[in-house]
Amino acid sequence: MESMGSDISLAAELLSEGKAVAIPTETVYGLAANALDAKAVAQIFELKKRPAFDPLIIHLASADHLGDYVKDTGPYFDALYQAFSPGPLTYVFPKQDIIPDIVTAGHPTVAVRFPAHPLCQSLLQKLDFPLAAPSANLFGRVSPTQANHVAGQFGDSLAYILDGGSAQVGLESTIIDLSQDEPIVLRLGGLSLEAIEEVLDRKVPYTRSSSSNPKAPGMLSAHYSPGIPLTHGNLDLNLNKVDRKRCGSISFCKKISGIPDQNQRILSPTGDLKEAASKLFAAMRSFDKNEVDVILAEEFPNEGLGRAINDRLRRASVA
């Protein structure tokens, strides 16, 4: 059997049989299984080596059948859905009993996203169940933005990798908790906090550790490890502490003097944070261990998607 390709019918068939399939989304690739089938979902945790206390996001084509899976969407959902879905925004709601505990790690809430990627949309429209899918990387590693990143980590252990090209957003979704009285952003991601605040016409707090989900590793410090030590912060200061010839760099738009050209990743020469976000994860995994002892990543502007980029780089630097 072909293990990678763009055959949506095959992907749908395998998922219906309870198998795990890698799927493209506009944020990052996901490792998907039938969210209503606890056994199918258990494979995801096994394959990823993911601890069972880290809950998964479920994916739906649209909100048409949302009421089957969540109890109450609250007063803020409609405006956000209208403005941003399908797209890189995940909502946390009180769950219905039909969602197995393994999906939510025993929490009474479930995270739901409506992905915009056309292949993923077509796939979800063919299915009569939601897909539970974390990012398709081994636990603690950089999320995949291309099908070959997934193949590199999982090889033959997946039934199929649905190849949808390079992820356009390139950062995981922004997560907003709508299960409490007031909306709270739990993870910065592919949709900026400012855009959410504009639509809701109010300030929305961002807190990494929420009472509903105190242990989520996606929100803990050491995560997103690129496999080579990474230092995040003021480049000019950090450059003085290293051998530049054995150094890699991740910068927003400028070239870094003294670092070999082939070890430099300039994410957007025109200074576009959207472009930088889409290239970040591929850049983090692109360095050669034989040439580079340390990666220096600069502090990006702390606004819009720059905040999510800094968040990922800061966590990668703790590992």
25 carries a ligand binding annotation = no
140 vs 304, which CB is nearer to Mg ion?
Answer: 140
Helix (H) or strand (E) holding 214: none
Binding residue (CB under 5 A) for Mg ion from 135, 153, 174, 213:
135
Smallest gap, in angstroms, from Cβ of residue 133 to ligand TXA?
5
Smallest gap, in angstroms, from Cβ of residue 128 to ligand TXA?
20
175 binds, among Mg ion, ligand TXA, none (CB under 5 to 8 A by kind): ligand TXA
Kindly write down the DSSP assignment for every residue of 233-277, as one continuous string.
Answer: S-HHHHHTTS-GGGEEEEESS---TTS-GGGEEES-TT--HHHHH
Q: Are 126 and 12 in contact (CB under 8 A)?
A: yes
42 carries a ligand binding annotation = no
187 carries a ligand binding annotation = yes
107 carries a ligand binding annotation = no
Site residues (CB under 6 A) for ligand TXA?
25, 27-28, 30, 54-57, 90, 92, 104, 107, 109-111, 113, 133-135, 172-173, 175, 186, 212-213, 216, 218-219
Instruction: Report helix, strand or coil for 226.
Output: coil
For tokens 């590793």, what's the residue?
217
Task: Residue 5: count other Cβ atoms within 10 Å of its Cβ.
Answer: 14
For tokens 């950089």, what's the residue?
142
Instruction: Report helix, strand or coil for 162.
Output: strand
135 carries a ligand binding annotation = yes
In a 13 Å sphere around the CA of 130, the CA atoms on its Cβ side amount to: 29
53 vs 67, which CB is nearer to ligand TXA?
Answer: 53
47 binds, among ligand TXA, Mg ion, none (CB under 5 to 8 A by kind): none
- List contacts with Mg ion (CB under 5 A): 135
